[in-house]
């Protein structure tokens, strides 16, 4: 209901503001004018991760040294995860090709599902190790604040995601 109301407000505001918009505005380099018969490209959007990261760091009161260590760990973990994520993506593409050709009882599909599950478990272990190393760098006050943030997140997002049909994977319990 709130989303619908907000969307309707935005549309109404956009419609009224475009009616009064002048023709003196010149297109910027980021937003080129539309060519014959084409729609204008959308304006560039801010990357939300940077804003969330800044709020996160501020709320935990992280020191510059902690921020540097965390960023270093994150980049190292992303480097470890990239080949695994690439393998998962390739296996999923292969899986969908098999699904197109055969039924779910195909032994090749069963094998790929097991391989994907094993890769996801590897991915989860690396991410869990990253989380633990991150939390080890925090002070007691920062850990308490992080616990509050987790509780708020769970409260705010509870019920937003439908339950998984097969239940939660074992590493999420």
pLDDT of residue 38: 65
In sequence order, what are the residues at sequence separation of 6 or more whose Cβ sits closer than 8 angstroms to the Cβ of residue 127?
Answer: 77, 81
pLDDT average, residue stretch 111-123: 92
pLDDT of residue 90: 94
Given a cut of 90, whether residue 84 has pLDDT beyond it is yes
pLDDT of residue 173: 41
Q: How far apart are CA 140 and CA 146, in angstroms?
A: 10
Given a cut of 90, whether residue 123 has pLDDT beyond it is yes
pTM for the full predicted model: 0.44
Domains of the chain, by residue range, sit at: 49-158
Q: pLDDT tens across 36-73, in order? A: 666 666 666 666 667 788 888 888 999 999 999 999 99
pLDDT average, residue stretch 154-166: 70
Reported confidence tier of residue 89, pLDDT bands at 50, 70, 90: very high
Q: 49-158 belongs to which CATH class?
A: mainly alpha
Nearest to 123 by CA among 163, 94, 95, 89: 89
Given a cut of 90, whether residue 91 has pLDDT beyond it is yes
3-state secondary structure 59-122: HHCCCHHHHHHHHHHHHHHHHHHHHHHHHHHHHHHHHHHHHHHCCCCCHHHHHHHHHHHHHHHH
Q: Compare 26 and 140 and report the one with higher pLDDT.
A: 140
Q: pLDDT tens across 36-46, in order? A: 666 666 666 66
Helix 140-157 vs helix 48-60: crossing angle, to nearest 10 = 130
């Amino acid at each position: 209901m709130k989303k619908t109301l907000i969307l309707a407000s935005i549309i109404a505001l956009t419609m009224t503001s475009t009616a009064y918009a002048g023709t003196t505005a010149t297109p910027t380099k980021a937003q080129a004018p539309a060519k014959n018969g084409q729609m204008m490209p959308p304006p560039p959007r801010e990357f939300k991760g940077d804003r969330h990261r800044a709020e996160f760091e501020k709320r935990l009161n992280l020191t510059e040294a902690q921020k540097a260590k965390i960023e270093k760990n994150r980049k190292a973990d992303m480097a470890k995860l990239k080949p695994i994520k690439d393998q998962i993506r390739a296996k999923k593409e292969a899986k969908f090709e098999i699904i197109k050709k055969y039924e779910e009882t195909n032994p090749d599909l069963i094998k790929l599902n097991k391989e994907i599950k094993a890769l996801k478990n590897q991915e989860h272990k690396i991410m869990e190790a990253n989380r633990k190393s991150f939390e080890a760098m925090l002070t007691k006050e920062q850990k308490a604040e992080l616990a509050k943030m987790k509780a708020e997140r769970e409260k705010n997002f509870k019920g937003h995601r439908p339950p998984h049909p097969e239940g939660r994977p074992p590493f999420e319990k």
